[in-house]
Structure 1
Amino acid sequence: MMRPLSLFIGSRFSRARKRNRMVSFISISSILGIAVGVAVIIIGLSAMNGFERELQNRVLAVIPHGELEAVRPPFTEWKPVLETVEQNQRVKAAAPYVQFTALLEKGTQLKAVEVRGVDPLLETRVSALPNYVKDNAWQNLKAGQKQIILGQGVADLLGIGVGDWISAMLPNRDGGQQLKAPKRIRLQVAGVLALGGQIDHNFALVPLKDAQDYLTMGEGISGIAINVDQVLDATAIVKEVGMTLPVYVYLKSWTQKYGYLYRDIQLVRTIMYLVMVLVIGVACFNIISTLMMAVKDRAADIAILRTMGAGDRLVRMIFVWHGLLAGLLGSLLGAALGASVALNLTSIAQFVERLIGHKFLSGDIYFVNFLPTQLEWQDVVLVMATATLLSLLATWYPARRASALQPAQVLSAK
């Protein structure tokens, strides 16, 4: 009977109309502070979830999860190695590639790009890159036709489109590995890659056979790209694969080039959570102030309850429930507000961008040009639980002070 009675009286204290106005104001401000803190954390965590989703669906879907790069290219005996790699249960697919740097020229415009020679059929197994090539140009990419697919940023900088011809200067080495005059070739733009971010501004694709001919590599390649089952474990999987190979290769994973993106997202997520917990903590201090003033305001009521036989535990639980109800109400309001905004964060951000005429995220810098969002209900539960726990801790001292009141002193002062 003790707990239901304490909850009943505590809720009556919370809803009572004849209350000190200052107590009411501080109580409302504490509820609103908790609600705002909870909402901001949920919105921020949802944004971080959205960035992590886009990182995996965009960047990590189009770049190799791992690479086995030849120590001394060209890598000629690569076919048996490819078969060995594909036998690993954690490797979903593997494909050969040729990689080099070229200087593209169109009129007076110059642009250095990383060119990757790939097999159009095998590349679809290890990368979602073909899905971001406009107008289904990937299906028309064939060896022997001097074709190239450019990133959108490269094409815009050079001022060219599909069907235009450009000049490419390639590094040229003689048999003694000495540099000679660069090789110049003419290439036709077969398609445009529109992924977003830095990849669009420094990347180009050509058929594997053409890349081998340009660099006079014969049947050799630069390395083997692999796609693994767990992208976050790519480094360990690549090492595991490398230990099974009969040749020496450089082992690379996506974390070496793009790992900073994932680490930054996790770091921002952690900092945001800690900062917002402090914000909620500040709001919970208002609960302490509210309860301390409520204890003074309700001293006579407490004294009457004590004369009627109420023990210390009942008095403590009354004020615990009094403060906890405020924390629960703030958590529920904040969760509802945060979830509503998080579910529509992308459209809200786009509306604000149109309103102010400025984009928050630039595709030239970031790997997305919009504000992504993904609401995870476990985040909502975690944030609400944190806010409720802090509210519960805030009730400890005022509840203890309330249970220490002496009825005789309170009633005699009245």
Structure 2
Amino acid sequence: MAYEFWIGARYAGLARGRKRRGGRSDRFVSFIAGSSMAGIALGVAALIVVLSVMNGFQKQVRDRMLSVLPHIELIVRNADHQQVLDHWKTLAQKAQINPAVIGSAPYVAGQGMLVRSNQLTGVQVRGIDPEQESRVSELAQQMVMGRLENLKPGSFGIVLGEQLAGMLRVSTGDTIMVMAPQGSISPAGFSPRMRQFTVTGVFSSGYYEYDATLAFVNVDDAARVFRDVGNSGVRLRIKDMQKAPQVAREIANVVPSYVFVSDWTENNRTWFAAVQTEKRMMFLILALIVAVAAFNLLSSLVMAVKDKQSDIAILRTLGATPREIARIFLVQGALIGVVGTLLGVGLGMLIAYNIDVIVPFIENLMGRKFLPQQIYFISELPSDPQLDDITVIAVVSLLLSFLATLYPSWRASKLQPAQVLRHD
């Protein structure tokens, strides 16, 4: 195998060989081998970078969502919110029997309208207990103006998302009107319930959709405004967010039947399913780059066999068997595939782990942002290289490379030395 490996490495451009008579070297074969290697490396690197960015995007959006949202919710629909709040600790105690639950807090949620001057904006209003909220979310750490503790019962204070506050052009101390869907009917028509609130703080989760559509008030104030519309119940936080569906099923078996148990994966199922589908499609599309590179490898090996016919004939006359000839070109193609894959993995990981430096540099150089926050929810390009993805990409690349070597190697083994030397 030693001479077969050495000749295959030489044809792949990875080992030096003597120049031919007349001074012509193997530069042409080395060039096409190098181009095939570069094609495989670029394809593998592109796959790693794109999938890492998609993983990072999913992880960052998920973490920002769950910094505001609970892992699990125990929901009582369209009930007397004050009655639910009076007994929320009983529900929380039943849920905390499960060792995975590490925090609980009451809530009241309802849809409403915010009115400021001539502006009208639809929002989701959530009533929270500031003292308990830190057990289930990171809202207190996300305050950019004011403090969450300022949401005292009966004060009718409200905390707005940063984008929402900007749209309404309000700051701390300003007043806005909150309209609830519940109202009264009079001879003059339907009159929605309205209540004036004072802005006591502004938060920024980094997730545009929430920063533009969420408002927080004290849970008692929310119960008064929404009464028997909307939902109320208990929000839970667990040790491992990935186990939320399993923990939710376990909790559903111990709480009353009128309590609906929902976890974060179910509440955002459509979004995460879309991201997973997009990731699979991007893998298939970008895998075509590696497939094209493998086809290029096949073409280069066919050209190498054509160029090396005289060498093959001489080796056959010296006693080399067809299998040994085939192994020479198998080694050549395998080395190109392995080296190209390793270079691609190295380049892809280098870019994926430093994309937080590379992208801002390119943005500053071009003077434009690649990710408008209003469209992509986040303003920075994240990256999360995962070993499973990198392994799959490397295996697919190596498999395609090895398959591309079979036909040229078979063709080389079938060459007849007499016919080749007759025309050389």
**Is this contact kept in 2: 1:172–1:180, CA < 8 A?**
no
CA distance in 2, matches of 1:102, 1:59: 21
**Secondary structure in 1 aligned to 2:191?**
coil
- Letter matched to residue 8 of structure 2: G
Q: Find the counterpart in structure 2 of residue 34 from structure 1.
A: 40
Q: Find the counterpart in structure 2 of residue 212 from structure 1.
A: 223
- Letter matched to residue 268 of structure 2: Y
- Letter matched to residue 49 of structure 1: N
**Secondary structure in 1 aligned to 2:115?**
strand
Q: Give the alignment of 1:219-258 within 5 angstroms.
A: 222-258=232-268
TM-score if structure 1 supplies the norm length? 0.90
- Letter matched to residue 43 of structure 1: V
Q: Find the counterpart in structure 1 of residue 208 from structure 2.
A: 197
CA distance in 1, matches of 2:183, 2:408: 81
Q: Give the alignment of 1:45-64 within 5 angstroms.
A: 45-64=51-70
- Letter matched to residue 30 of structure 1: S
TM-score if structure 2 supplies the norm length? 0.88
**Is this contact kept in 1: 2:75–2:231, CA < 8 A?**
no
**Secondary structure in 2 aligned to 1:245?**
coil
Q: Give the aligned length.
A: 407
Deviations 1:277-330 (A, max 9, x none): 221111111111111121121122122222222223221111011111222222
Q: Find the counterpart in structure 2 of residue 386 from structure 1.
A: 396
Q: Give the alignment of 1:57-206 within 5 angstroms.
A: 57-74=63-80, 76=83, 77-135=87-145, 137-172=147-182, 181-195=191-205, 196-206=207-217
CA distance in 2, matches of 1:78, 1:139: 20
CA distance in 2, matches of 1:107, 1:72: 31
Describe the shift of the 1:400–1:264 C-alpha distance in structure 2 as closer, same or farther (beyond 3 A).
same
**Is this contact kept in 2: 1:96–1:221, CA < 8 A?**
no
Q: Find the counterpart in structure 1 of residue 322 from structure 2.
A: 312
CA distance in 2, matches of 1:345, 1:228: 32
CA distance in 2, matches of 1:157, 1:322: 63
**Secondary structure in 2 aligned to 1:150?**
strand
CA distance in 2, matches of 1:110, 1:226: 32
Deviations 1:336-379 (A, max 9, x none): 32222222223332333344443322322333122111233443
Report whether the alignment pairs 1:9 with 2:7.
Answer: yes
CA distance in 2, matches of 1:249, 1:180: 32
Q: Find the counterpart in structure 2 of residue 328 from structure 1.
A: 338
Q: Find the counterpart in structure 2 of residue 298 from structure 1.
A: 308
- Letter matched to residue 14 of structure 1: A
Q: Which runs of 5+ in 2 are unaligned?
A: none
Q: Find the counterpart in structure 1 of residue 348 from structure 2.
A: 338
Q: Find the counterpart in structure 1 of residue 275 from structure 2.
A: 265
Deviations 1:58-86 (A, max 9, x none): 11232122222114412524332221011
**Secondary structure in 2 aligned to 1:59?**
helix
Describe the shift of the 1:66–1:313 C-alpha distance in structure 2 as closer, same or farther (beyond 3 A).
same
Describe the shift of the 1:264–1:216 C-alpha distance in structure 2 as closer, same or farther (beyond 3 A).
closer
CA distance in 1, matches of 2:285, 2:4: 34
Deviations 1:198-238 (A, max 9, x none): 11111100111222333457xx9711222234434433432
Q: 1:141, CA displacement in angstroms?
A: 3.4
Deviations 1:134-155 (A, max 9, x none): 1462244333322110011211
Q: Find the counterpart in structure 2 of residue 373 from structure 1.
A: 383
Identity across the alignment (%): 38
Q: Which runs of 5+ in 1 are unaligned?
A: none
Q: Find the counterpart in structure 2 of residue 364 from structure 1.
A: 374
**Secondary structure in 1 aligned to 2:125?**
strand
CA distance in 2, matches of 1:394, 1:215: 67
Comparing 14-23 and 288-297, the one that deviates more? 14-23
Describe the shift of the 1:43–1:137 C-alpha distance in structure 2 as closer, same or farther (beyond 3 A).
same
Describe the shift of the 1:273–1:35 C-alpha distance in structure 2 as closer, same or farther (beyond 3 A).
same
**Secondary structure in 1 aligned to 2:236?**
strand
- Letter matched to residue 51 of structure 1: F
**Is this contact kept in 1: 2:145–2:203, CA < 8 A?**
no
**Secondary structure in 2 aligned to 1:260?**
helix
**Is this contact kept in 2: 1:20–1:297, CA < 8 A?**
no
